[in-house]
Amino acid sequence: MFDSRHIRTFHEVVASGSYSAAARVLGYTQPAITQQMKALERAVGTPLFTRVGRKMKLTEAGESLARHAESILGSLSAAEAQLKAYTRLRTGRVRVCGFPSANVTLVPEALSGLAKDHPGVQVELLEGEPPESLRRLQRGECDITLAFTYPGLHEEVPEEVTEVRLLEDQLTVLLPTGHPLARRRAVHLADLAEEQWIAGCPRCRANLLHECAELGFVPDIRFATDDNLVVQSLVAQGLGVAMMPALVLPSLSLSRVCGRVLEPAARRHIAAYVYRDHLRIPATAVVLDELKRAASNRVGC
Residue 89: predicted pLDDT: 59
The answer to whether position 78 is within a domain reads no
Q: Are residues 206 and 288 in the same domain?
A: no
Residue 300: predicted pLDDT: 45
Query: Do 207 and 152 form a contact (C-beta atoms < 8 A)?
Result: no
Please report, for the domain that includes residue 144, its CATH number.
3.40.190.10
Domain count across the chain: 3
Residue 227: predicted pLDDT: 87
Q: Are residues 164 and 282 in the same domain?
A: yes
Q: Are residues 107 and 22 in the same domain?
A: no
Residue 88: predicted pLDDT: 57
CA dist list (Å): 234 to 176, 224, 227: 9, 10, 11
* Residues near 25 by beta carbon (within 8 Å), at least 6 away in sequence: 12, 16
Query: Do 263 and 188 form a contact (C-beta atoms < 8 A)?
Result: yes
The answer to whether position 33 is within a domain reads yes
Q: Are residues 220 and 92 in the same domain?
A: no
Q: Are residues 176 and 261 in the same domain?
A: yes
Q: Are residues 33 and 146 in the same domain?
A: no
Q: Which of 71, 101, 123 is the last residue of a domain?
A: 71
Please report, for the domain that includes residue 56, its CATH number.
1.10.10.10
Residue 291: predicted pLDDT: 96
Residue 226: predicted pLDDT: 85
Q: Classify strands 49-52 and 242-245 as parallel, antiparallel or unpaired.
A: unpaired
The answer to whether position 247 is within a domain reads yes
The answer to whether position 76 is within a domain reads no
The answer to whether position 261 is within a domain reads yes
Q: How far apart are CA 208 and CA 232, in angstroms?
A: 17
Q: Are residues 217 and 280 in the same domain?
A: no
Per the confidence metrics, is the pTM higher than 0.85? no
The answer to whether position 191 is within a domain reads yes
Residue 87: predicted pLDDT: 56
Q: Are residues 178 and 258 in the same domain?
A: yes
Q: Are residues 164 and 273 in the same domain?
A: yes
Q: Which of 71, 100, 124 is the last residue of a domain?
A: 71
Residue 166: predicted pLDDT: 96
The answer to whether position 25 is within a domain reads yes
Q: Are residues 161 and 183 in the same domain?
A: no
Q: Are residues 115 and 240 in the same domain?
A: no
The answer to whether position 62 is within a domain reads yes
Q: Which of 17, 43, 71 is the last residue of a domain?
A: 71
Residue 281: predicted pLDDT: 85
Query: Do 5 and 32 form a contact (C-beta atoms < 8 A)?
Result: no
Residue 151: predicted pLDDT: 86
Q: In the 8-state DSSP scheme, what is residue 73?
A: H
DSSP string for 21-55: HHHHHHT--HHHHHHHHHHHHHHHTS--EEEETTE
Residue 248: predicted pLDDT: 83
Q: How far apart are CA 222 and CA 42, in angstroms?
A: 79
Q: How far apart are CA 204 and CA 226, in angstroms?
A: 9
Tell me which residues of the chain have a pLDDT lower than 50.
Answer: 300-301
Residue 301: predicted pLDDT: 42
- Tell me the residue range of the domain where 8 lies: 4-71
